């Protein structure tokens, strides 16, 4: 991930750690991703801020029928992500900032009509925070989009970590206007138990555009429409 702070931070080796299980290893989040991919017939996984590729590689291996596209602005993180993704023919990783990655996607208009799952994680390690621009680009161009946002504030659940800087909170309130007038659904977690073996609880949000999503029975007590 990248973006969010005014000055680029010096990274230590621990920040480049690769995990075999992506999406923070959160069992319920992993179930949600699998449900979205299979039940909603996702064709492309589009990620911003792949870091070393943990979530990207995990999904690309688990669902090889999906085309997985990602970007990473940090050159060293991008090099490592490409190394971990070596041999995966359904993966593209670009050493680009989010705004330049958007330009690349805009040259592939066929994407706009497909069923796309987004994982927006471009915030951290000292680069520009592009979240509002990313949401606006998706809302303006993609017919159907399932937008998952990492490090998202979960109202009423203080156990989840979220990003905040200079009064800017990674939250629905922060990105609401970027959705424009498009009707949408918003979902969030409703659990407090930590299921990951390697990561604390991290907030996430799911915004659905151009479709109607129903929470699967297996997750009915773990997630639901967000209280905004």
Compute the distance between CA of residue 76 and CA of residue 175 in angstroms, rounded to an integer.
30
Give the per-residue pLDDT at 109.
82
Predicted structure pTM score = 0.93
Tens of pLDDT, residue by residue over 61-91, are 999 999 999 999 999 999 999 999 999 999 9
Kindly report the backbone phi and psi dihedral angles of residue 147, in degrees, each rounded to the nearest multiple of 5, phi listed first: -105, 110
Among residues 25, 27, 77, 19, the alpha carbon closest in space to that of 48 is found at 77
Mean pLDDT, 10 residues at a time, the chain of 228 residues: 44 90 97 98 97 97 98 95 98 96 95 97 67 96 97 94 86 96 97 95 97 97 84
For the chain, give the longest Cα–Cα distance: 44
Q: Which structural domains are found in the chain, ordered by start? A: 19-225 (3.40.50.150)
- Is the distance from CB of 185 to CB of 207 less than 8 angstroms? yes
Compute the distance between CA of residue 150 and CA of residue 12 in angstroms, rounded to an integer.
21
């Amino acid at each position: 991930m990248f973006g969010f702070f005014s000055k680029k931070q010096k990274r230590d080796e621990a920040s480049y750690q690769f995990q075999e299980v992506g999406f923070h290893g959160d069992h319920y989040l992993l179930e949600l991703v699998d449900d979205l991919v299979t039940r909603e017939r996702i064709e492309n996984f589009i990620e911003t801020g792949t870091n070393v590729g943990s979530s990207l590689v995990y999904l690309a291996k688990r669902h090889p029928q999906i085309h997985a596209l990602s970007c990473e602005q940090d050159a060293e993180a991008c090099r490592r992500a490409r190394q971990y993704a070596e041999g995966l023919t359904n993966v593209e990783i670009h050493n680009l900032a989010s705004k330049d990655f958007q330009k690349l996607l805009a040259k592939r208009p066929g994407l706009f009509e497909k069923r796309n799952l987004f994982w927006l994680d471009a915030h951290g390690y000292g680069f520009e925070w592009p979240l509002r621009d990313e949401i606006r680009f998706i809302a303006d161009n993609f017919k159907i989009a399932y937008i998952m946002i990492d490090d998202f504030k979960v109202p009423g659940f203080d156990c989840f970590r979220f990003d905040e800087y200079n009064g800017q909170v990674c939250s629905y309130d922060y990105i609401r206007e970027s959705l424009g007038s498009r009707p949408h659904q918003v979902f969030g977690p409703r659990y407090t138990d930590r299921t990951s073996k390697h990561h604390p609880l991290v907030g996430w949000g799911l915004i659905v555009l151009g479709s109607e999503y129903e929470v699967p029975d297996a997750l009915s007590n773990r997630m639901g429409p967000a209280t905004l």
